[in-house]
Amino acid sequence: MFNIGDKIVYPMHGAGTIKDIEEKNILGKTEPYYILEMPGEVKVMVPINKAESIGVRNIIDKEKADKVFSILGHDSTEMSMNWNKRYRDNMDKMKSGDIYEVADVVRNLSFKQKEKGLSTGEKKMLVNAKQILISELVLAEHSSKDEVEDLIEDTICKSFEAYKHTDKSEINNDNIVKKFIPYN
């Protein structure tokens, strides 16, 4: 059970604060709801009796926030080459509500975006995953949205450079096609 003022995470929506607990009559059934205030002045109602089963949890502490940045600072994990499978796998990670899984999605899609670019669907997923990650880290780190965004981007850029950067002079020139021969 959560209390008014608790900072919690609602999977797929991000972190927010319980502003009130109210009885609501929805479709003829009256039950208590948490009234959550989410980033961007969005309010969400969550039935109290279903909160834990849908993954509502307390926000992470400073120690776990440090682990999130550690995940962002590591190399990407293997993803399917098949776009549909990759999308479903990443969506499952985000739906889990696990902040480490969301960090994994942010890092992996950010790397992929830097390497090859992303499809429209994956771009939207990256934006959503970052929003979820940022909303929780702002509360966990007691920082501003801009500070957390900058820290995430800086960590990912450093990680990408460390794990994905290749010096063009290291490429073996013997394997490069030097002349294009048209096929007639």
Q: Where are the domains of the chain?
A: 7-58, 62-164
| pLDDT band at residue 73 using 50, 70 and 90 as cut-offs | very high
3-state helix, strand, coil in the chain (%, to 5): 50, 20, 30
Cα angle: 44, vertex 36, 122; to 5 degrees: 60
pLDDT over 50 (residue 72): yes
Give pLDDT, residue 171: 43
pLDDT band at residue 178 using 50, 70 and 90 as cut-offs: very low
Q: What is the pLDDT of residue 8?
A: 94
Q: Which of 120, 6, 142, 126 is nearest to 62 (CA)?
A: 142
- Cβ within 8 Å of residue 38, ≥6 positions away: 10, 13, 14, 15, 16, 44, 135
Percent pLDDT > 90 in the chain is 73
* DSSP-derived pairing of the beta strands 14-26 and 29-38: antiparallel
How far the first Cα of the chain sits from its last, in Å, is: 73
Domain 7-58 and domain 62-164, same fold? Reply is no
If DSSP codes are grouped into helix, strand and coil, which group holds residue 156? helix
The overall pTM is greater than 0.85: no
The CATH superfamily label for domain 62-164 reads CarD-like, C-terminal domain (1.20.58.1290)
CATH number listed for the domain at residues 7-58: 2.40.10.170
Overall average pLDDT of the 132-146 stretch: 93
Instruction: Assign 12 a pLDDT band (cuts: 50, 70, 90).
Output: confident
Given this model, what pLDDT does residue 145 score?
Answer: 93
Reported as a pLDDT band with limits 50, 70 and 90, residue 182 is low
| pLDDT beyond 60 at 156 | yes
**Which residues have a Cβ under 8 Å from the Cβ of 33 and sit 6 or more positions away?**
21, 22, 23, 24, 45, 46, 47, 48
Residue 45 has pLDDT above 80, yes or no: yes
Task: Return d(Cα 12, Cα 97) in angstroms, integer.
Answer: 7
Closest CA to 152 of 87, 116, 107, 122: 107
For 48, the enclosing helix (H) or strand (E) is: none
